[in-house]
Amino acid sequence: MAKNTKSTPKHDRCSFCGRGRDSVKVLFQGTDGSTICNDCIEMGYKSLESNELTSKEGKRGAKRSDFSADKILKPQQIHDFLDSYVVGQNSAKRSIAVAVYNHYKRLVAAESQNNEVELDKSNIILVGPTGTGKTLIARTIARLLGVPFTIVDATVLTQAGYVGEDVESILSRLYQASGYDVEATERGIIFIDEIDKIARKGDNPSITRDVSGEGVQQALLKILEGTVVNVAPEGGRKHPEQKFVQINTKNILFICGGAFDGIEKRIAQRLNTHAIGYGRVNTNHFDRKNMLKYVQPQDIKSFGLIPELVGRLPVITHLEPLSREVLRSILTEPKNAIIRQYNRLFEMDGITLTFEEQALDYIVDKAMEFNLGARGLRSICEAIMKDLMFEAPSSDIKEFTITKQYAEQKFEQADTALIRDNQ
């Protein structure tokens, strides 16, 4: 027999369903005296979940119904979008555009009824010197995609049980980026930066345990190829009591990037560019200033990545060293060009900032001298602009022009030791 709710005090029964405290597991009471039981909370959660409102960040992953052949961006469209932010590097941009396009098509094929031919994913590895735009390409492509995307750093990864992050943490990042949606996570893209930092430390792996090198590579093998992984939503070591979620990595595309400093010597050795006598006859056509264009899987293997991992990264592309002309374009042409950023910063203080052409040439010359790529442009500009950014907001200046003389004076006065140490 149901209990008479009228005889039960108001604070001892649920304000929504009317059941008494002894009929429910938990009864929560608000500051105004209203109450709600655990069953009503659970029903409310399911209602929110069905309307995709449970995530604070929203469901950022695209639904399955969003993938159709007519909605997929073509490689040329992806390439054109990258052109707005990344100067040069056409070979790398074309490889990324094709990989992303094929990733979308693989998702469409997985939903179609015709599954006679299973499309395998083609993970990518980007090889290029520091400051050539590997991470910039990744961050730019993330703005365009309709699937979850995350960038992780391989330098912090270690074998399970050692200080650092487990390899599975890269999937936790993607899971968080998808708004904690498993279905969206399984269609995402992960960019692993600094992949060269987990190279094997020695030719003989039995000498010592390589917990941040070969051990990490071994743990990455199944994840890159495709397997079901137990993932801790908030990170496994900091919250050991949390429940794991299972994520299938079969359709997750992996893009890896690294500088691979010194790999040019291995490429030159393979091409026999240092041969003497008759061996030099066929080596004159090699571009010795850009040996990375000849990079092959065996060069990546000789650098320290195990063969099994190299085999799971079938697409290898390189980034060109930045010439003086490209560095000059990077300063002014992209939508987020460095000079445009400074103009915007001063515009917010009501100051019109302009740069003389000779001043821009001076900045590029110094970047070439330090050999830091595009990243060096920002360091040099900061050294030149530091005093002006400190003084201008408190002054009555409305317009200011950066001349070559001003740039030279401020740069020579600045402590450029840190810039030089990074060469």
- The model's pLDDT over 150-188, given as tens digits with 9 standing for 90+, comes to 889 888 888 766 766 888 889 988 998 888 889 889 888
Q: Is the pLDDT of residue 206 over 90?
A: no
H helix intervals, 116-236: 134-144, 169-177, 182-185, 214-225
Which is nearest to 397 in space by CA: 344, 352, 354? Answer: 352
Cβ burial, residue 142 (10 Å; 0-12/13-18/19+): middle
What are the beta bridge partners of residue 157? 165
**Alpha carbon of residue 52 to chain centroid:** 26
Name every residue whose Cβ is closer than 8 Å to that of residue 378 and which is 6 or more positions away in sequence: 338
Indicate the pLDDT class of residue 88, thresholds 50, 70 and 90: confident
Q: What is the mean pLDDT of the chain?
A: 80
Q: How does DSSP classify residue 122? A: -
Percent of the chain with pLDDT over 70: 80
pLDDT of residue 55: 39
Angle between helices 338-347 and 324-332 in degrees, nearest 10: 30
Strand bridging mode 149-153 / 189-193: parallel
- The model's pLDDT over 109-136, given as tens digits with 9 standing for 90+, comes to 777 766 677 778 889 899 988 878 888 8
Average pLDDT of the residues in 277-301: 73
Q: Is the pLDDT of residue 325 over 60?
A: yes
pLDDT of residue 345: 93
Answer yes or no: same fold for 64-318 and 325-421.
Answer: no
407 vs 402: CA distance, rounded Å: 7
Lowest-pLDDT range, 280-284, 295-299, 399-403? 280-284
Exposure b/e, 211-229, CB count within 10 A at least 16 = b: bbbbbbbbbbeebbbeeeb
CB 99 within 8 A of CB 315: yes
CB 194 within 8 A of CB 154: yes
Angle between helices 90-111 and 75-83 in degrees, nearest 10: 140
Name every residue whose Cβ is closer than 8 Å to that of residue 310 and which is 6 or more positions away in sequence: 297, 300, 301
pLDDT of residue 145: 78
Q: Where are the domains of the chain?
A: 5-50, 64-318, 325-421
Q: How does DSSP classify residue 321? A: P
14 vs 407: CA distance, rounded Å: 71
Superfamily grouping for domain 64-318: P-loop containing nucleotide triphosphate hydrolases (3.40.50.300)
Indicate the pLDDT class of residue 273, thresholds 50, 70 and 90: low
Kindly report the CATH number that applies to the domain delimited by 325-421: 1.10.8.60
pLDDT of residue 203: 57
Average pLDDT of the residues in 350-356: 93
Average pLDDT of the residues in 339-349: 93
pLDDT of residue 59: 39
Q: How does DSSP classify residue 155? A: G
pLDDT of residue 122: 84
- Between 351 and 50, whose confidence is greater? 351
Average pLDDT of the residues in 221-239: 78
Which amino acid is present at 71? K
pLDDT of residue 321: 84
Average pLDDT of the residues in 286-299: 84
Q: Is the pLDDT of residue 64 over 60?
A: no
Average pLDDT of the residues in 210-219: 78
